[in-house]
Structures are given as structure tokens and as C-alpha cells.
Chains A and B, each alone.
Chain A
Amino acid sequence: MGFFADSFRSALLLFWNLDRELLEIIGVSLRVSFAATLIAALLAIPAAFFIAGRNFAGKRLLLTILNTLLALPTVVIGLVVYSLISRRGIFGPLDLLYTQTAMVIGQVILIVPVITTLTIAAVSRIDRRFRPTALTLGAGPGDLALVILREARYGIFAAVIAAYGRVIAEVGISMMLGGNAKGFTRTMTTAMALEYDKGEFVLAVALGIALMTIAFLINILFHFCQGQSDHAPV
């Protein structure tokens, strides 16, 4: 217990002193996770609208596959992407291995199914009458999508938040595709794993605190936005 308390105290001291290495690691984590979430959202939300709004052959199979992909282990994604971007892979000449771009690619693959399935659920949950109401008032296909986006916005926002939480906390992809290079591809989770291996817990605890604080702040932001919508009509 004394050991943990000492580590915790030392970790707080790192924050207090604005330790350069700590800030660098947090910066890389936030940057990579944000880029991956943004790209995945731009791909997954339109795809979810398409899937939710249309009936087509194989839709049920596609939903089953997407649900299955939710359980995809990060090391499997890491392995597949590694085989594609390593020197002998088909994208080897692009020299992507052990870069932040490689980490973003892996993380996008990880969370596209998360945002897609949760957005499909959010869009399917909104009242069926919105569609004919918007159409009869003169909405075209683009206007209709905006109505659905607006009415399902909290569900979609929750999907994006969940995806962000998934990527910022993952370790397999970042380790296998980023390589944990100090100051370049070292994220909070890979640094924590490294520090654990070294038996150095101070930085690991500090990063754990940072990770939990970020998750907490994101959730507060989400609840704040939701609260605004409940009480203050636009």
C-alpha cells in the first residue's frame, strides 16, 4: 500500500512539474486517437445511415459481421496491418510501419464497426414518423439525412465517445504498429506497459491517472451536452 501511495505521490509531482516526457506521451495519445476517431466517424456514420435507411440483400449478414467485428482483438488487427505495411507487405514501399499513420490505420479498423453498429442502433431508435414528416414538409434526401442526424445526435455522439474511449485505451495496435518509439509513437498505454516491464511504476501510475482523467472529462462533456438539450430548446 505504501509503495502504491509513494508512486501516486510521485506521479502527481510529475504533473505538478509539467514533466516533458509525460506531456509528450499524452500528446501523442490524444493526437493519434483523435485522428483515428475523426476518420472512423467520417467513414462509419454515412455507412450507418446507408445501412439503416435501406433494405437490401445481405443486410442481415452485414449486421452480423459488423457485430462480430466488435469483438475483434487489437493484436489481430495489428498482425493483419503489420503484414500489409511491413517491408515485405504490399504497402511496404510506403514505409508506414512504426509511424503514427500506421497506428491511426489500425485504430480506424478497430472502431469503424463500433461507430457503425452504435449509429445504426441510434438511427433505428428514433421515431419512424420523422421521415414522412420531413418529406411532406418538402425535405429532399440530404435534408432528410440532416433531420435524422439531428434527432439521433446524442446516440451518434455516444457512439463516437465510446469509440474514442476504445482507441485511447488500446495497447495492441499501438505497440505492434507504432513500436513504442519514445517521443514519436509512444502512447500512454504502450508507455505504461514498458514502465511495468522495467518495474518503474511512477510514470505508469501518472499515465493511468491521465487516462482516467481524460475519460472522466469526456463523459462530463457528453452529459453536459445532453443536459443542455433536455433543458434548453434550440
Chain B
Amino acid sequence: MPLYRMTDLLRRYGDSTVLNIDQLTIQPGQISTLIGPNGAGKTTLLQILAFLDRPTSGRLEFCGEEVVWQERQLLPLRRQVVLVDQYPIMFSGTVRRNVEYGLKLRQVAQAERRRRAMEVLAEVGMEAFADQDARSLSGGENKRVALARALVLQPEVLLCDEPTANVDSENQEIILRILLEQNRDRNTSIIFSTHYLSQGQRLAHHSLMLQQGSLSVTVSDNSFRVGVVSRSAERVECRLRGQLLISLPATLVPAAAVCRLHLDPARILVNPVEAEAVAGTRLVGEVVELASHGSRVRLVVDVGVRLVVFLDSRHYRQKPLSLGERLELVIPVSAMSCEAVDTLP
């Protein structure tokens, strides 16, 4: 049974749509990452998964049960899922009081609360800070205590919003190690957001890419390691996976020898007519896979490497494609993002 299942999930703030997910299933016992730039909707999705924010429309299931967003149902659900904020806030009082807070709500006896709090503080290397004022901690220490405050509850699901953002590299490693151990030793399902692709791919069983509120595709698709071959003022010639030579705008490619290139499959244009012609990289290839994917059609086109393209179903019905058909793809600059590999942690 999936841990989460989302169908046509929409979250709007006023006129602006911050999250729009057709279909998404997250399996239990895994580490999943949400990867995307700032404003992609990662925090909103995590808040919905933590039952702290209610979608404007759509359906969310948790362990097979539909979430109906009534307080009576939400409290037991929230007690299985804990979200660690990107900028965690500590309640006034000591570090230990903060860590014990959730246990106190669950009416755990005082001696047991204290034992478990000290145990988990030791796990995150913060036991020496137990009696210190929680508001006097540094950024990295604060995140570790916030993690301890969540872990002490032994949740089914641990959600972390940018757990390694704004902390030094030593604390980053500690936090990532804790997440891995928690998943390995207690089989806790972990979902964390990051804008570091490499971090997601290094730790996670499954990575999800969010772009402007929409799930573009799993990152293993359309994510390529590219080597820079030559660079001019306007264009950079790159080789994808050591095979396909591709020309990219110089403004897109960071000054590094090796980069990771993402191509948003929902924005790649297929056989554009004149009116749709836009500036971008043009490639020609052959359709090798064709499948229905919710309200969209998923194509895999071999252009030298395999590119995933999503087409709107209505658009597809007007211009059906067939396997083996050759077609032209245009990848607009807005569909590309590129980051240097050797500068990632």
C-alpha cells in the first residue's frame, strides 16, 4: 500500500497556483527527495504531506485512507508524521524541554520522557546542550535539536524542508547521516526537499522534480551529466553523457567543466509549427516509447540520448504520433536548468 497517493492536487493562494500535481505516489520505507528551485512548491507540498496545509482541491490518501481535513481526523494523522521546518523555531525553555514536548503531548511519563530525550540528543550529538537555553543555539545546532525533537517521537514519516540549507558542511554531514540511519535502522519513511540535485541523488531511493508547482518528472529522466567541450561568448558546446553534442546558451551554463543539465519534459515542444517557433535548442529523433500518463501522454524520443517529453492529451489527439516516427524537438531556454557538479556538496 502506498504511503501517500495524490490525485489532481491543487493549492492556490489567491490567483496564484503554487502546487498542481496530477498524480503522485510515494512508497513507504523509502527516502524520497523533492528537488526544485526556490518557489517550486516544495515547502507547500511538504506542509500538505504533514497535514498542516489543506489543498484547494484534489485528493490525498495516507496509507490508503483519504484525508478529509477535519480536525478529528487530522490529530491522529499528524501524530504519525513530523515536519522539520527549514528554519526551525525553538519554544522558550531548555533544549530538553523542547525535545520532550511531543512526548508530553502523548502523555509519556516524565522519567521515560527524559530517558528518550537524552537518548535522541546523544544520537544527534547534542546531549551536552540538554540544559541550555534552546534559543541560544547556532543554526546547525538548532537544526539538529529540531531533528531530535522530531525523531524522539519515532514517526512513521519524517518530512524535512531543506535540512542542510544554511548550515556548515560539518553539520550538513551529521544531518544527512542521521536521516540515513533513521531510514535504515527504523525503516522511517523520509521525504526531504533540497535544491541540490546531487544530494538528492546520493541519498534518495526516489527523487521528484518540482518546477513552478508541477511535478515535471522523476529526476532520473531528462537529467544529464554534461561535459563542456568549448565555450564562446554566446554559446557553450556540451556533450551529453559522452554521446550527444548539444549547443546551449552561455548564460545558462555555469563556469565549470562538468555540469548537470535538466530538461523539463512538459515544456519541450514537438514538431513546432511556425507560430510556435521559439528560440531554443533543436534536436531530431525517433519516438521509441509512447504511453498514457494521467492527463498527459509520455513520449520517449531517441535523439542520441533518450529524452522524455510530456504532451497534453488534447494536443496529442489533434496530432497523434506513432512509434518509430521521426520528429523535431525544440527545447526552449526556459525548459533548461543547469548546475555545476563540482561545486555541489
Kindly identify which residue among B87, B94, B105, B134 contacts A139, using a CB–CB cutoff of 8 Å.
B105
How distant is A214 from chain B, measured CB to nearest CB, in Å? 29
How distant is A78 from chain B, measured CB to nearest CB, in Å? 41
B254 at the interface (CB under 8 A from A): no
Report whether B92 and A137 are in contact in the complex, using a CB–CB cutoff of 8 Å: no
Provide the bound-state CA to CA distance between A44 and B131, in Å: 35
Which residues in B have their C-beta under 8 angstroms from that of A64?
A: none
Report whether B85 and A129 are in contact in the complex, using a CB–CB cutoff of 8 Å: yes
Within 8 A of A (CB), among B55-83: 71, 75, 78-79, 81-83
Which residues in A have their C-beta under 8 angstroms from that of B50?
A: 132, 136
How distant is B113 from chain A, measured CB to nearest CB, in Å? 13
B272 at the interface (CB under 8 A from A): no
B97 at the interface (CB under 8 A from A): yes
Which A residue's beta carbon lies closest to that of B146? A133
Which residues in B have their C-beta under 8 angstroms from that of A138?
A: 75, 78-79, 102, 105-106, 153
B89 at the interface (CB under 8 A from A): yes
Which residues in A have their C-beta under 8 angstroms from that of B97?
A: 233-234
B52 at the interface (CB under 8 A from A): yes
Which residues in B have their C-beta under 8 angstroms from that of A129?
A: 85, 87-89
B93 at the interface (CB under 8 A from A): yes
Within 8 A of B (CB), among A129-150: 129-130, 132-141, 143, 147, 150
Which residues in B have their C-beta under 8 angstroms from that of A133?
A: 85, 88-89, 91
Which residues in B have their C-beta under 8 angstroms from that of A132?
A: 47, 50, 52, 83, 85
Report whether A234 and B52 are in contact in the complex, using a CB–CB cutoff of 8 Å: no
How distant is B94 from chain A, measured CB to nearest CB, in Å? 5
Which B residue's beta carbon lies closest to that of A234? B93
Task: Say whether, besides A129-B85, A129-B89, A137-B149, A234 and B105 are in contact (CB < 8 Å).
Answer: no
Report whether B85 and A150 are in contact in the complex, using a CB–CB cutoff of 8 Å: no
Question: How many of A's residues come within 8 Å of B, CB to CB?
Answer: 20
A229 at the interface (CB under 8 A from B): yes
Report whether B47 and A233 are in contact in the complex, using a CB–CB cutoff of 8 Å: no
Which residues in B have their C-beta under 8 angstroms from that of A130?
A: 89, 91
Which residues in B have their C-beta under 8 angstroms from that of A143?
A: 105
Question: How many of B's residues come within 8 Å of A, CB to CB?
Answer: 30
Which residues in A have their C-beta under 8 angstroms from that of B302?
A: none
Provide the bound-state CA to CA distance between A141 and B70, in Å: 13
A24 at the interface (CB under 8 A from B): no
Report whether B52 and A229 are in contact in the complex, using a CB–CB cutoff of 8 Å: no
Which residues in A have their C-beta under 8 angstroms from that of B101?
A: 134, 137
Provide the bound-state CA to CA distance between A141 and B75, in Å: 9
How distant is B239 from chain A, measured CB to nearest CB, in Å? 46
A197 at the interface (CB under 8 A from B): no
Provide the bound-state CA to CA distance between A233 and B91, in Å: 11
Which residues in A have their C-beta under 8 angstroms from that of B153?
A: 137-138
Identify which of B79, B81, B131, B150 gathers the most chain A CB atoms within 10 Å of its CB: B79
B237 at the interface (CB under 8 A from A): no
Within 8 A of B (CB), among A98-153: 127, 129-130, 132-141, 143, 147, 150-151
Report whether B91 and A136 are in contact in the complex, using a CB–CB cutoff of 8 Å: no
Which residues in A have their C-beta under 8 angstroms from that of B328?
A: none
**B138-181 interface code vs A (CB 8 A; 1 in, 0 out):** 00000000000110010000000000000000000000000000
Which residues in B have their C-beta under 8 angstroms from that of A136?
A: 50, 52, 78, 81-83, 150
Which residues in A have their C-beta under 8 angstroms from that of B106?
A: 138
Which residues in B have their C-beta under 8 angstroms from that of A147?
A: 91
How distant is A54 from chain B, measured CB to nearest CB, in Å? 14
Report whether B92 and A151 are in contact in the complex, using a CB–CB cutoff of 8 Å: yes
Which B residue's beta carbon lies closest to that of A231? B133
How distant is A231 from chain B, measured CB to nearest CB, in Å? 9
Which A residue's beta carbon lies closest to that of B95? A233
Provide the bound-state CA to CA distance between A139 and B103, in Å: 10
Kindly identify which residue among A137, A140, A151, A234 contacts B82, using a CB–CB cutoff of 8 Å.
A137
Kindly identify which residue among B102, B131, B134 contacts A137, using a CB–CB cutoff of 8 Å.
B102
6 nearest interchain CB pairs? Answer: A137-B102, A129-B89, A233-B133, A234-B93, A138-B79, A138-B105
8 A-B residue pairings within 8 Å (CB atoms): A129-B87, A136-B78, A137-B82, A137-B153, A141-B71, A147-B91, A151-B91, A233-B131
